[in-house]
Structure 1
């Protein structure tokens, strides 16, 4: 078992990564976060498999609520339902919440933990690659909020309500990835590639050299992949817990991604939207002179090689996505703040010409 530490003073915690460690969850949780009651928030996709194994590690006598992990359920209504179930189960401030599933389950469960009775202990048990390398680390929790457009329709804005609430421990058992379909596995690789683009060429080389083994679910390779990627994120979070500085770099590709992910007609998973967002971001970087065309082609090649999309499945209007970018929660003083790749990593920019943004969107299939 490998251990990566997120160093945040009294809020520090370990990320345990290994094979068949889910059966040790009870021992691990009790050692770092003893509690009077354990309440599970579970992705329905793993309710009868990994969640059941996790609860057996506590003796099987646990209260649970399950949710369908889709963006339309990432709402305050779902959080309120979790709160009500926790009250019915007799949870109090001495209880702990254990979130088991992908990134959406961890986000919603984490927000419920952060807000129920002003905060409970939280344990993250990610069962998707994306959650293992990204969503479960760093304490970001939250839900989507409806954004109303001028024509009276609404779309869910990504993670517009939430909190920073660090877990007590993260337990990532790569054996849970044996049941993860290839589409979801690719989504996790999008976040790994994003981490590699932040100045970690050895991470990119590892992905390129081990692509077949990753999709074959080679456990040793998966442990190393998760360890490498989680270490990159944990180091950034340790230096900037609340995104006042370099942690913003982890949003590379995400401002573009969050504009298209809520569009139901595109049918994009988060990692797929991030992949398209990475292409848009590096094209924007080329348009502003930060990288050359060869680097753009390299990133497109890597994303395509692992089966991720590099363009929109359907055209959308440039103005519609720019409108959503303008209300992204990372903006400041009504200006779009964007993370763009550079030759050595990435930087945050607050003044991006909308002509360059339009060019970036055109490069992935948006239309005027």
Structure 2
């Protein structure tokens, strides 16, 4: 029976205990891959533009495919394209030959990755794609490879060297392919006039989506939950209303609900510093803030956060165009909505 290798049976690698040599090895990877990126950047030319035009002219999606490490890169490129305004998805070439080709329609553009340009699983798909009429963009490191020759547009991602010292593991080549995929996505984004709002709509669960899609009306307290009193109310009546509604403030309104002022927990502390103030008999109109900061219900929640931070306040009243109070919110509402 063959012996099972143990940790002790493996030879100790050179420099395994030398932090400086390990760091130097890591830096060399960055240097080699930076050179690879620079080499590919110089080849962004007419072929790159032609690839963009093929995709822009298509009424379908971009189908990304590739085997092994190229497949991982293709999957990421598909995700980046889809999130930046270019509908795209990944198809595993091995699975495609067993039924997943049915996912590809004749109006789709296929982006095939293979550094050698000779991956059997990818090449096997080409006759079917050609018969179906799909446009093909290839991304290889060999312009004379089978995949490059069969493509409508070929993108050359050849690199001077892999960062792997054995020249075996795809390193510089996959980095270059990933960067070129990002370049495609950004160029298409620019060409489509894709905006931050468009990005947010495809990322509603993310932080950016919350910042760009969540409005004041989505998180504010409204109706009977809004603290409000009349200008003739006493300070003690204001405190009762503030305690009931638990927002740390109350609006002061006229008979039509128009905003006259605001009274907050901070105002209360300042009131208590004045020993001559009678909480039961002093009218709230005498101590309220007469020009409080407000916001509209159609504003973005992130604007409320910016307003609170700029003016060092913890709550805002929401008013309509006629200055009628329609809602209220405080910093805790923004925290619960994960806007801040």
TM-score (norm 2): 0.29
**What TM-score, normalized to structure 1?**
0.27
Structure 1 or 2, whichever has the larger Rg, is: 2
